[in-house]
């Protein structure tokens, strides 16, 4: 099974350390990581960020655990696709 997860971070500046800690903890299961954020005006950053993760096959338990931990964080929206 192929799992893709989208993570919308509501307060990127305040939550960046927490996200990085979790991504490091589950890093061995992540195949692809793509980070996107809006730039409202040139030279500035948006407070929101979007992460897209693709996981290595066969690690559903670890993906479930990461998803549960991310959903505990206040400003996060987590969505998942399975193929």
The model's pTM is 0.86
Q: Is 28 helix (H, G, I), strand (E, B) or coil?
A: helix
- The answer to whether residue 34 scores a pLDDT higher than 90 is yes
41-77 residue pLDDT tens: 676 667 778 999 999 999 999 999 999 999 988 888 9
| Mean pLDDT score, 19-31 | 95
Sign of CA dihedral 5, 21, 36, 77: positive
The predicted pLDDT at position 44 comes to 66
Per the CB < 8 A criterion, the answer to whether 37 and 12 are in contact is yes
| Mean pLDDT score, 2-26 | 88
């Amino acid at each position: 099974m192929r799992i893709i997860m989208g993570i919308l971070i509501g307060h990127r500046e305040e939550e960046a350390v927490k996200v990085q800690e979790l991504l490091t903890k589950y890093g061995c299961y992540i195949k692809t990581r793509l980070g996107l954020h809006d730039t409202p005006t040139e030279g500035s950053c948006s407070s929101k960020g979007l992460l897209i993760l693709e996981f290595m096959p066969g690690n559903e338990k670890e993906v479930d655990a990461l998803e549960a931990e991310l959903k505990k964080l206040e400003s996060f929206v987590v969505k998942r696709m399975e193929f």
